[in-house]
Amino acid sequence: MIRLLVLIFFPFVVHAAGEGAWQATGVGATLSHRGVATSSRALSPSQPVEGGMTLVAWRYELIGPTPAGLLVRLCSVTRCVEIEGQSGTTRGLTHVAANEPLRFVWEVPGGGSLFPPLKVRSNQVIVNYQ
CA distance 54 to 16: 9
pLDDT recorded at residue 7? 43
- Max alpha carbon distance in the chain (Å)? 49
Residue 122 has pLDDT above 50, yes or no: yes
* 92-120 per-position pLDDT tens digit: 999 999 999 999 999 999 999 999 999 99
Burial status of residue 56 (CB atoms within 10 A of its CB: 0-12, 13-18, 19 or more): buried
pLDDT recorded at residue 2? 44
Q: Which CATH number fits domain 2-129: 3.40.920.10, 2.60.120.260, 3.90.1150.10, 2.30.30.790?
A: 2.60.120.260
Of residues 8 and 39, more confidence is placed in 39
Q: Cα 98–10–64 angle (5° rounding)?
A: 90
The model carries a pTM of 0.84
* 58-81 per-position pLDDT tens digit: 999 999 999 999 999 999 999 999
* 15-62 per-position pLDDT tens digit: 444 489 999 999 989 999 999 999 999 999 999 999 999 999 999 999
pLDDT recorded at residue 4? 45
Query: Side-chain half-sphere of 106: how many Cα atoms within 13 Å?
Result: 27
